[in-house]
Each structure stands twice: as C-alpha cells, then as structure tokens.
C-alpha cells in the first residue's frame, strides 16, 4: 500500500501543521511541494485534487481530502498512536469545538494581516490596505482575549497534554516575527506558543526562514 501524499507549501502554516501532526504521530507521509505564490494551485491538475484551488491536500489511498483541520483529524483518527484523538466523546467534542473556532474565528484575522503585510508584497499586487489590516487586528485582539483567558489555567488548549487544537491554533502564529500580530499583551498565549517549540515535531517543521531570504524566527532562538 502506498503511503499518503501531502500536497502543500512548507512555508504555509496550514501545510506546516499537517506536517507537524504527522511527525508527532510518527507517520510516514510523502510531500509534494506546491508553489502557492506561483499560483500552481490553479493549474488543472491541482484543481482536480481540490476545486477550491487551495493547499494542503492529502491523498491517502482512495481518500482525497482537503481542509487542513479535516486532514489532521484524519491522521489522528487513523494513526496507531492515538494520543491526539481522545477516546471520550465529550473530549472529542471539546477538541472539535476548538478546531471549528480556529477556522471560524481565530485564523481569519491572522490570515487577513498576512495577506496585507506579506502576501501582497510577495505577489507584487500593491501595498497593504490599512482598513483591511485594522479589520484583521480587531479580530486578532477580540479572539486573542478569549484564548488568552482560556489558557490562564492550562498548559495546552484542551488540557495538560498537547492536542490537535494546539497544532491548529499555534500554526496561525507562524508569521508573528514577519508581520507583527498585535498579541504582545497576551501573556498566556506567549507562554503557550513558546512551549510548543519544546515539541520536537513542532520545532523540526519550523520553516527555514533565512533560506527563504526572510528574518529568522526569534522563537526558535529562544527555544534553543
């Protein structure tokens, strides 16, 4: 049986979280690079995998799966290491709650800021729109307060052990050193995020920013 293949871009936070989850679970998956900046996701051969024109995409036997949070749930459910998939129904529901919250509330603000402050420059499509940046920052501040308060008495999002929600929510902060998200006041988030770098799977999947001509991550230096 052939191993699963992940199509994505290593510098993408959605791709990185899948790679980190797979590594944490000891899964052997192949990786097929896709250049999002060069619009390779809009080529016919990729649209046959995901008609949305987005990455990552996982091909696992007969299963063709897009949406990064669905992919990490699939990996956690099917791996022999079940540490990231709770047995108790209530615990699974709590985990899914945070994954839905990530997609609906946590990630959109960060994505907006990244597009305006980084992606536009990479693609040569004009300067940041101040109104969009402000909108993204409002979302980050609003929902950052929710997560910061939640983490006040917790090491990880769903308890004292790392879970899928940590990989998902943590990935959104990947570009903090490049685009300056407004999260400095959230001390619990800062503690939690730096704690993720104690995980080998997380630190090993941090993009090589300097090889890309970008500033190296201070989070990696502090974790070393």
Domain boundaries, the chain: 5-78, 89-223
* Residue 119 neighbours by CB under 8 Å, 6+ apart: 37
R_g of the chain computed on alpha carbons: 17
pLDDT in tens, 80-96: 999 999 999 999 999 99
Question: How far is Cα 90 from Cα 13, in angstroms, rounded to an integer?
Answer: 28
DSSP 8-state secondary structure symbol assigned to residue 134: H
DSSP 8-state secondary structure symbol assigned to residue 136: H
Question: How far is Cα 223 from Cα 170, in angstroms, rounded to an integer?
Answer: 15
Q: Which CATH number fits domain 5-78: 3.30.365.10, 3.40.50.1000, 3.90.1150.110, 3.40.30.10?
A: 3.40.30.10
Among all chains, which residue has been given the structure tokens 């929510």?
Answer: 169
pLDDT in tens, 26-61: 999 999 999 988 889 999 999 999 999 999 999 999
**Domain 89-223, what fold?**
Glutathione S-transferase Yfyf (Class Pi); Chain A, domain 2 (1.20.1050)
């Amino acid at each position: 049986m052939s191993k699963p293949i992940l199509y994505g871009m290593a510098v993408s936070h959605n791709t990185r979280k899948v790679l980190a989850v797979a590594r944490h679970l000891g899964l052997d998956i192949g990786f097929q690079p896709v250049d999002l900046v060069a619009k390779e996701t809009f080529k016919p051969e990729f649209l046959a995998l995901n008609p949305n024109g987005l990455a990552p995409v996982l091909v696992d036997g007969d299963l063709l799966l897009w949406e990064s949070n669905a992919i990490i749930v699939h990996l956690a459910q099917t791996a022999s290491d079940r540490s990231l998939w709770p047995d108790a129904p209530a615990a699974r529901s709590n985990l899914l709650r945070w994954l839905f919250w990530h997609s609906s509330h946590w990630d959109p603000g960060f994505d907006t800021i990244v597009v305006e402050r980084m992606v536009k420059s990479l693609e040569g499509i004009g300067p940041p729109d101040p109104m969009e940046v402000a909108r993204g920052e409002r979302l980050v501040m609003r929902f950052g307060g929710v997560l910061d308060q939640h983490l006040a008495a917790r090491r990880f999002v769903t308890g004292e052990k790392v879970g899928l929600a940590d990989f998902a929510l943590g990935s959104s902060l990947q570009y903090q050193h490049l685009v300056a998200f407004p999260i400095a006041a959230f001390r619990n988030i800062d503690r939690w995020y730096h704690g993720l770098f104690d995980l080998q799977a997380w630190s090993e999947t941090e993009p090589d920013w300097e090889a890309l001509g970008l500033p190296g991550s201070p989070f990696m230096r502090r974790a070393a």
